[in-house]
Amino acid sequence: MGRTIVVTGAYGFLGRHVARCLSKQGHIVLGIGHGEWLQEDWKFWGLSEWKRSDVTLQALKQYAGEPSAIVHCAGSGSVPFSIQDPLADFERTVETTAHVLEYVRTSAPSCRIVYPSSASVYGNAETIPIREVCPTVPISQYGTHKLMAEQMVTSYSRQFGTSAAIVRLFSVYGCGLRKQLLWDACRKFSNNDYVFTGTGNEVRDLLHVEDAATLLMTATEHASPTCPTVNGGSGHGVTVRDVLLHLTSILQTKGVPTFSGTQRTGDPTRYIADTQGSKAWGWLPTRQWAEGVEEYVTWWKRNFL
């Protein structure tokens, strides 16, 4: 039977996929956050209502009703942005989480919270694959803010018995994502630019956004005052070079990618998720990265070529 679930940041890349996933399972989904879109668009993405607002205690009290769960997708989603404007990054990621938690504590104590965190909390992990118990030593403002938000969530669980779950998402990608590796590469290739920062040997764990959405939905079932924390990844690593080579082969580009050798600030070198935690929830990713990249290229070509 459907329940009412609030998705904050539902206009965003992750948020809209989460909303649609929940809606397909019969839930009533209320969206709140920033972004101007037409009713037909937010309805298409599964929202029953869309409230354009800051994610604050007051706004949640006014609009959230009595949801059974909140998936808190609002927040910054970019390491470069966190370096350009760290205070705004803090406000989007940490402050909104403080308000969501306080809303639940004061107005909806039985509501479950799912927090989509990020593998960036690990920084340069020493052991691969990365287990959830690994030290959290973020190397970017973005990762620091995600970790701070996590700490507040676990602190509310411990102190107030708030039911919560944290999912540390690895490299989420999919059609519609207008940033990060695939996006940057498609744009570069179309300008006959083949030079990338880094070495190409960086390892990423790519997770299709629809798989990320099903995992976050699963997390709503496992939220509890013990605040379980699981990785959200495929469990498989792929090098940036291999992703780009696959892209060039699909796009039949004239050049081949080359690498400057310089590491981008805040970019760790190797990320692969240990997925035992999410597997124990009965969740498995369904999409292979190579097929996901092909789908992405199709979307990109349709919209931008």
The torsion angles phi and psi of 32, rounded to 5 degrees, stand at: -145, 140
Who contacts 291 (Cβ-Cβ below 8 Å, separation ≥6)? none
Instruction: Give 43's contacts (C-beta < 8 A, 6+ positions apart).
Output: none
Site for a copy of itself (CB under 8 A): which residue of 39, 58, 127, 155? 155
Q: Which stretch binds a copy of itself (CB under 8 A): 4-12, 28-36, 44-52, 141-149?
A: 141-149
Residue 101 interacting with a copy of itself (CB under 8 A): yes
Rounded to an integer, what distance in angstroms lies between the CA atom of residue 241 and that of residue 196?
10
Which pair of tokens denotes residue 91? Answer: 């406000």
Interface residue with a copy of itself among 37, 90, 259, 299 (CB under 8 A) is: 90
Among 41, 49, 54, 102, binds a copy of itself (CB under 8 A): 102
Between CA 107 and CA 269 the distance in angstroms is 42
Binding mask 257-296 for a copy of itself (x = CB under 8 A): --------xx------------------------------
By CB under 8 A, name the one of 8, 76, 120, 141 that touches a copy of itself. 141
Counting contacts by CB under 8 A, is residue 245 touching a copy of itself? no
Footprint (CB under 8 A) of a copy of itself, residues 110-139: 138-139
Residue number, 84 or 286, with CB nearest to a copy of itself: 84
Q: Which span sits near a copy of itself by CB under 8 A: 85-93, 192-200, 244-252, 272-280?
A: 85-93
49 binds a copy of itself (CB under 8 A): no
Instruction: Give the long-range contacts of residues 96-102, CB within 8 A, separation 24 or more.
Output: 96/8, 96/54, 96/55, 96/56, 96/72, 97/72, 97/149, 97/152, 97/153, 98/152, 99/55, 99/56, 99/57, 99/60, 100/8, 100/55, 100/60, 100/70, 100/72, 101/152, 101/153, 101/156, 101/162, 102/57
Interface contacts to a copy of itself, rule CB under 8 A: 57, 83, 86-87, 90-91, 94-95, 98-99, 101-102, 105, 138-141, 144, 147-148, 151-152, 155-156, 158-160, 265-266
